[in-house]
Structure 1
């Protein structure tokens, strides 16, 4: 999985992810989110339009990242989930916890 971090305002960041968010890539995803939050950006939007596959480990990484962000006084939002990702989020009811936005800019708009 590739992750590109974009700063969005003073306390927010957008993470553009591509590839597969699964058992192999989940630890690196968690580490990237933690680094962004520790760097003073506790409000994180994760853009998932180019994520072709999400499994239970990826779901766990997203929920763990949400918890990390909230413990730091921030939040985590998802943006533009691909069709497969949206299906997994819906089947697992995680879509009730992580609100989806059209894109990363929309997800952080009220934060900046």
Structure 2
């Protein structure tokens, strides 16, 4: 059972929405869920970060792990609606160059056919 809200858009993109703190306590569950989503055949994944109060290096590691597994499956992982704290951490770590962010989950894969 997932601790994250999960839905599938009409396009087939899976949206995961964690909430609260994405730290060393919550990150392993997110990593596991991201891997499970891709293993079920969904290679385009959006993580909706609008409900995240805090992200640390463990949370970033879970996102990078999800990105890696999605790309190995021929897809991608994108972030949506990051909070100010998340944006700051992504910029400080330069991960904003690796993890693309979008205003809303529905528009994260608009560039895909």
Give the structure-1-normalised TM-score: 0.92
Range moving further from structure 2, 30-39 or 101-110: 101-110
Contact 1:11 1:40 in 2 (8 A): no
Residue 60 of structure 2 is matched in structure 1 by 59
Range moving further from structure 2, 4-13 or 24-33: 4-13
**1:75 maps onto 2:79 in alignment:** no
Q: Which runs of 5+ in 1 are unaligned?
A: none
The structural deviation recorded for 1:97 is 0.6
Residue 102 of structure 1 is matched in structure 2 by 103
The structural deviation recorded for 1:111 is 4.2
When you count strand as a share of all residues, which structure comes out higher?
Answer: 1
The structural deviation recorded for 1:16 is 1.5
The structural deviation recorded for 1:3 is 1.3
**Separation (CA, whole Å) in 2 of partners of 1:28 and 1:111:** 28
Residue 39 of structure 1 is matched in structure 2 by 40
Q: Which runs of 5+ in 2 are unaligned?
A: none
**Separation (CA, whole Å) in 1 of partners of 2:103 and 2:7:** 17
Q: How many residues align?
A: 111
Q: What secondary structure, in the 3-state scheme, does the structure 1 residue paired with 2:74 have?
A: coil
**CA distances 1:77-106 after superposition (whole Å, capped 9, x unpaired):** 001100111100000000011111001011
**Separation (CA, whole Å) in 2 of partners of 1:95 and 1:10:** 25
Over aligned residue pairs, what C-alpha RMSD do you find?
1.5
